[in-house]
Amino acid sequence: MDLPDRLAGTLLGTALGDALGLPMEMLSPRVIARRFPRLDRFHMLGLVGFVSDDTEQSALVAQSLARHPRDTDAFVQAFRRSLLGWFLRLPWGIGLGTLRACARIAVGLRRSGVATAGNGAAMRAAVVGVFFHDDEVARRSTSDALARVTHTDARAVEGARFVAEVAAMALRHDDPAEALEAARAVVTEATLAEAIGRAVALAREGAAPDVAARDLGTTGFVVHTVPFAAYAFARWGRDPMEAIGAVIRAGGDTDSIGAIVGAWCGALGGEGALPGALVGRIHDGPFGPTHLRALAADLAGARLGRTAMAEYSPVYALARNLALYPVVLAHAARRIIPY
């Protein structure tokens, strides 16, 4: 196993699913099929892909973990600081739970997490699983502490724990379904565990994506997001574009579900399993491919005691966000058109 490659695959897979799904977020399957007949290219702005909060928060996790790989409390504090700085740069796509948590950090509250079961904790957790793939205790304690920075609901915490666990198991099992089965034991919350069980059963039966989407749900609720991602990974985990395409065509929270599936596919097969030409068309500024590869290298180095740190320009990140807000708002406006 080439750990730096798996770390890069996890971060780049997150970016790929996020950037492909972002323009379709919260659209219905019918509208997606009509407006976006091709899902093998980006649709945000020409042929260039842009990432949103899913990738950017995953990068902040990687950055904080590379700085404090053996101290969970210091890691959490570093992530809180990074998250606040990120929030002040006016990112788009931020969920309500994360927004509330950032506001609590900004006013100095020690307990920033809110009792909500959105997917903000789950969408950024995969890289923790790959980094701690050989340390079960550190993997689970770090994932849980990271989740509670923004989300304290047990379903959100365990959803993030499951995402990290699947990513870790993807380094041990060549079969996506086996990785999912090995990870299921970490989920004890009844509602989430039952939904993941249904997802695995639907994948085993070969259920069509529209059938699975109706059964499992595709909203930003973690009990929908994580099981539907599990269904797609179990069925098509060796083919990232097929897996990501399936969850995007189903509509709903397409970027976050796509990001989770992409992260798992990248953890399973490394960067080489991802479509290199498409990854290369993701905007290569802050949180772009070059930055994500550098963070993967930092994480690999942190396991060996090295402390090199990838840098990016916060000013550039703010300028990019402001420049693209008209594009983001135009896509948001189109969502109210029902045809």
Q: How confident is the model at residue 335 (pLDDT cuts 50, 70, 90)?
A: confident
pLDDT of residue 117: 96
Q: How confident is the model at residue 222 (pLDDT cuts 50, 70, 90)?
A: very high
Please give the residue that has the higher pLDDT: either 144 or 95.
Answer: 144
For range 314-319, the mean pLDDT: 93
Please give the residue that has the higher pLDDT: either 163 or 339.
Answer: 163
Q: How confident is the model at residue 333 (pLDDT cuts 50, 70, 90)?
A: confident
In the chain, helix, strand, coil percent, each to 5? 65, 0, 30
Tell whether the model's pLDDT for residue 313 goes beyond 80: yes
Short-list 226, 184, 233, CA closest to 204: 233
For range 138-148, the mean pLDDT: 98
CA torsion sign, 54 to 55 to 61 to 64? negative
pLDDT of residue 245: 97
How high is the mean pLDDT of the chain? 95
pTM of the model: 0.96
Interacting residues of 109 by C-beta distance below 8 A, sequence separation 6+: none
pLDDT of residue 201: 97
pLDDT of residue 336: 77
Tell whether the model's pLDDT for residue 198 goes beyond 70: yes
Which of 4-8, 127-131, 244-248, 334-338 has the lowest average pLDDT? 334-338
Residue 37's CB is within 10 A of a number of other CB atoms, namely 7
pLDDT of residue 176: 98
pLDDT of residue 339: 60
Q: How far apart are CA 152 and CA 144, in angstroms?
A: 9
Q: How confident is the model at residue 307 (pLDDT cuts 50, 70, 90)?
A: confident
Q: How confident is the model at residue 306 (pLDDT cuts 50, 70, 90)?
A: confident
Burial grade of 64 (CB within 10 A; 0-12, 13-18, 19 or more): buried
Please give the residue that has the higher pLDDT: either 73 or 95.
Answer: 73
Tell whether the model's pLDDT for residue 308 goes beyond 90: no
Measure the CA dihedral 230/219/75/308, to 10°. 70
Which of 27-31, 124-128, 328-332 has the lowest average pLDDT? 328-332
Assigned token pair, 180: 């999912």
Q: How far apart are CA 158 and CA 170, in angstroms?
A: 18
